């Protein structure tokens, strides 16, 4: 069994044990209350009968839940898993290739990488021999990266000519490493032969080599998270693991330099340990950090060609900017272009020698059609000052040039109106949160908002609030029976406080409602409900026989009521929910918004299931001569509470408990997901699977520096990681 399997089983065992203890506590308290009311006339005696039923029903469900969990874990650990067929593997590769191509084609359009043409960057084999393996190991003959004006088709052809097809892309900040990686992915996909692996671009910052010592384990986990269509039943069992194990994935790992110093060397070591034979790889990193990592590691990346960009000349940059100008540009542009071409603007030439600087000039001065004269006023400054100036202008420029779409949704225009000040402040808060997480300073998911906020006070407040409401409702419905209201309120508060502890660190889930290929599993679920119902009926018959002074009618009534309640309750609230509930997102979801919606849908399904069981419990309580209003409302409250707390995925609930606190402080808007989605449409953020990242690390670093310089840490409450 894989490490992922055992981690999942540990989480299931903990959840099962928690439900068992809570149900046992509820059964014990209910039994004590019923015993204290035994023999009392009127409504008190009716309450006694109903609480006895609920006590034994809760105990039976809890006990059977734990037993079923242990039996299920044992059976899964012994059952062999069928291997995917060749046809399933081929289909999975085609599906994955389509998803990756669609993802990065959208990103290419957002970043204007090919409008009007790709940026004219040239790449060559590095001259620093200590960074690359011996040439005879890398390729047969001369390594074919000449540094001339090579098109992306030629780059892919050169890559395929490498002996092991391993490539390291180096360069300074903003030199187009990620841009080249994206273009390579798209071209490799466009020209892919059926027997070639599928390129998948991943962020190096997401690889924890302690949790995944082997590259293959991390790749399989990332595929399952970012492209959940790979978990579709028709593709076979464990298809991500199979594709990785058979060498059908070409990992394109971006941003090795974003890891801490020691982690970079560890990752290089892990790559060399993991790869063998013809395993392929593309890796990007800043030159200085890669050199330090190679020196610390004491070795290079085996059989990998290493390339670096050539600086873009002022004339080439001037030609590109001129091609991007509108037919009737601002009158100041000819002077700027001429100064850049002739060397009269050395600072501007230095900034536009990289793809990032060239894009910043285009986004902040060409797209908004504003006066470009400030580009020439920095002649006596530095390139860093000019880049900071461009980053300052970037958010207002993008907000002004991409207004909200009035009609149908457009992929590259926001859906809502935000001011530049709001966008800047909220993105600064995102920088603040990313800086807190030392392990991963790039990836931000919507469920991380809850995980990085203190939640003890929030949980206590929610527990007390729900307990007060529950107790007050039952107090009023039972004509002032204080004991019933107090006990119900305390139980509700206890359940909420205890069971919500894990909500704020749980990843999102989704409801898998597909029947095909899962009928055998569904049959086992129904059989489990039948077994639990029979056990409940037997215990109910014994309880009814003892409480009814050995009367057969009372025994059979108790057997029927407790059997139905335990069987159907276990089936709907526990077994079917577990059959439906799966981690990550639906088969077609691969974005942050889709994971948010999928977890919300799963929450609604659990709530409806709980209400159905609660309604059934209410009718049973009504038959036990409890007043109709008390029985129905009490059953619905109890069912809703259980529907909320059961399950393994509560990220949407935790998010909705956290965002109002952030909005009250001005850290994020109430529509936080709408804002993050619009920031992606504006081109400020990018998505990688379910995660948001700053599209340009330089903008993130610029906002972080501003945060530190202005002492903005005082503007936000310290948020220690949990």
* pLDDT tens digits along 654-675: 999 999 989 998 999 999 999 9
Distance CA 347, CA 339 (A): 11
CA-to-CA separations, 188 to 215, 493, 554, 575, in angstroms, rounded: 21, 56, 74, 45
Is 60 exceeded by the pLDDT of residue 546? no
Which residues, other chains included, contact 464 with Cβ-Cβ below 8 Å and sequence gap of 6+?
Answer: 493
The residue with greater pLDDT, 40 or 568, is: 568
The residue with greater pLDDT, 687 or 601, is: 601
CA 372 to chain centre: 40
Work out the number of other CB atoms within 10 angstroms of the CB of residue 278: 12
Q: Do 179 and 153 touch, CB atoms closer than 8 A?
A: no
Which residues, other chains included, contact 76 with Cβ-Cβ below 8 Å and sequence gap of 6+?
Answer: 5
CA 652 to chain centre: 12
Q: What mean pLDDT is predicted for residues 455-478? A: 83
Q: Do 640 and 614 touch, CB atoms closer than 8 A?
A: yes
Percentage of residues in the chain having pLDDT higher than 70:
68
* Nearest-10 crossing angle of helices 672-682, 592-623: 160
SS3 call for 258? helix
Which residues, other chains included, contact 685 with Cβ-Cβ below 8 Å and sequence gap of 6+?
Answer: 676, 679, 692, 693, 694, 695
CATH class of 86-310: alpha beta
- Whether residue 116 is preceded by a cis peptide bond, meaning omega within 30 degrees of 0, is yes
| Most confident region among 500-509, 526-535, 554-563 by mean pLDDT | 500-509
- Can you spell out the DSSP letters for 669-716? -SSHHHHHHHHHHHTSEEEETTEEEES-HHHHHHHHHHHHHTTGGGGS
Q: Do 236 and 242 touch, CB atoms closer than 8 A?
A: yes
The domain locations on the chain are 3-80+507-511+518-649, 86-310, 314-401, 420-447+655-715
* pLDDT tens digits along 141-174: 655 566 555 578 888 888 998 888 999 999 887 7
CA-to-CA separations, 559 to 369, 532, 555, 562, 620, in angstroms, rounded: 79, 12, 6, 5, 12
The pLDDT assigned to 491 comes to 80
Q: Do 280 and 318 touch, CB atoms closer than 8 A?
A: no
* pLDDT tens digits along 395-447: 999 999 888 877 655 666 788 899 999 999 999 999 888 887 766 677 888 98
Percentage of residues in the chain having pLDDT higher than 90:
15
The pLDDT assigned to 48 comes to 46
Q: Do 372 and 333 touch, CB atoms closer than 8 A?
A: yes
Residue 132 is given by DSSP the state: S
Looking at every residue in the chain, the average pLDDT score rounds to 76
The pLDDT assigned to 32 comes to 44
The residue with greater pLDDT, 688 or 550, is: 688
Domain 420-447+655-715 falls in which CATH fold?
A: Arc Repressor Mutant, subunit A (1.10.10)
Q: Do 293 and 156 touch, CB atoms closer than 8 A?
A: no
Length of the chain: 722
* pLDDT tens digits along 183-219: 899 999 999 998 899 999 988 877 877 778 888 888 9
- What would the two tokens of residue 607 be? 């709530």
The pLDDT assigned to 168 comes to 94
* pLDDT tens digits along 620-657: 666 555 677 777 787 788 778 777 877 778 889 999 99
pLDDT band at 722 (very low <50, low <70, confident <90, very high): very low
């Amino acid at each position: 069994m894989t490490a992922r399997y055992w981690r999942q089983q540990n989480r299931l065992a903990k959840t099962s044990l928690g439900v068992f203890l809570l149900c046992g506590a509820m059964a014990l308290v209910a039994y004590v209350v019923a015993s204290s009311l035994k023999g009392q006339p009127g409504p008190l005696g009716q309450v006694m009968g109903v609480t006895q039923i609920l006590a034994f029903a809760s105990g039976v469900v809890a006990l059977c839940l734990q037993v079923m969990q242990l039996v299920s874990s044992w059976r899964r650990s012994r059952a062999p898993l069928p291997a995917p067929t060749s046809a399933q593997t081929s289909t999975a590769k085609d599906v994955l290739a389509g998803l990756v191509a669609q993802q990065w084609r959208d990103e290419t359009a957002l970043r204007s990488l090919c409008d009007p043409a790709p940026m004219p960057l040239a790449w060559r084999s590095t001259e620093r021999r200590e960074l690359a393996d011996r040439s005879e190991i890398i390729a047969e003959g001369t390594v074919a990266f000449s540094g001339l004006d090579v098109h992306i088709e030629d780059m892919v052809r050169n890559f395929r000519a490498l002996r092991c097809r391993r490539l390291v892309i180096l360069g300074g900040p903003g030199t187009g490493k990620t841009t080249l990686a994206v273009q390579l992915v798209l071209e490799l996909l466009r020209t892919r032969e059926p027997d070639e692996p599928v390129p998948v671009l991943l962020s190096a910052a997401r690889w924890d080599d302690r949790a995944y010592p082997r590259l293959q384990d991390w790749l399989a986990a990332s595929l399952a998270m970012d492209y959940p269509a790979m978990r579709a039943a028709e593709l076979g069992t464990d298809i991500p693991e199979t594709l990785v194990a058979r060498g059908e994935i070409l990992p394109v790992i971006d941003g090795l330099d974003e890891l801490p110093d020691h982690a970079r060397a560890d990752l290089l070591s892990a790559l060399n340990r993991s790869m063998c034979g013809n395993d392929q790889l593309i890796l990007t990193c800043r030159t200085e950090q890669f050199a330090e990592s190679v020196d610390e590691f004491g070795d290079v990346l085996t059989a990998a060609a290493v390339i670096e960009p050539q600086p873009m000349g002022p004339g080439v940059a001037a030609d590109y900017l001129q091609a991007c100008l509108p037919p009737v540009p601002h009158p100041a542009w000819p002077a700027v272009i001429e100064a850049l071409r002739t060397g009269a603007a050395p600072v501007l030439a230095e900034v536009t020698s990289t793809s990032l600087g060239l894009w910043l000039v285009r986004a902040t001065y060409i797209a908004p059609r504003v006066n470009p004269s400030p580009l020439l006023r920095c002649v006596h400054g530095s390139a860093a000052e000019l880049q900071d100036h461009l980053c300052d202008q970037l958010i207002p420029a993008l907000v002004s040039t991409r207004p909200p779409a009035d009609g149908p949704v457009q992929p590259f225009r926001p859906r809502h109106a935000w001011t530049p000040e709001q966008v800047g402040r909220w993105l600064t808060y995102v920088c603040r949160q990313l800086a807190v997480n030392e392990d991963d300073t790039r990836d931000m998911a919507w469920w991380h908002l809850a995980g990085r906020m203190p939640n003890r006070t929030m949980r206590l407040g929610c527990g007390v609030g729900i307990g007060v409401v529950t107790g007050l409702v039952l107090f009023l419905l039972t004509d002032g029976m204080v004991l019933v209201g107090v006990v119900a309120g305390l139980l509700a508060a206890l359940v909420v406080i205890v069971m919500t502890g894990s909500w704020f660190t749980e990843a999102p889930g989704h409801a898998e409602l597909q029947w095909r290929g899962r009928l055998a599993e569904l049959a086992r679920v129904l059989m489990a409900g039948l077994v639990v119902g029979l056990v409940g009926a037997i215990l109910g018959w014994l309880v009814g026989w003892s409480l009814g002074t050995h009367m057969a009618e009372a025994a059979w009534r108790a057997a029927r009521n407790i059997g139905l309640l335990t069987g159907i309750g276990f089936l709907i609230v526990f077994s079917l929910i577990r059959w439906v509930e799966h981690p990550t997102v639906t088969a077609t979801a691969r974005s942050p918004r889709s994971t948010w919606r999928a977890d919300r849908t799963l929450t609604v399904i659990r709530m409806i299931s709980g209400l159905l069981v609660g309604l059934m419990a209410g009718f049973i309580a009504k038959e036990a001569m409890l007043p109709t209003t008390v029985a129905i409302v009490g059953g619905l409250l109890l069912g809703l509470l259980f529907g909320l707390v059961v399950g393994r995925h509560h990220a949407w609930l935790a998010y909705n408990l956290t965002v109002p606190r952030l909005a009250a402080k001005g850290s994020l808007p109430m529509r936080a997901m709408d804002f993050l989605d619009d920031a992606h449409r504006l081109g400020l953020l990018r998505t990688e699977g379910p995660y948001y990242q700053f599209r340009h690390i330089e903008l993130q670093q610029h906002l972080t520096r501003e945060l530190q310089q202005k002492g903005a840490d005082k503007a936000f409450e310290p948020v220690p990681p949990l």
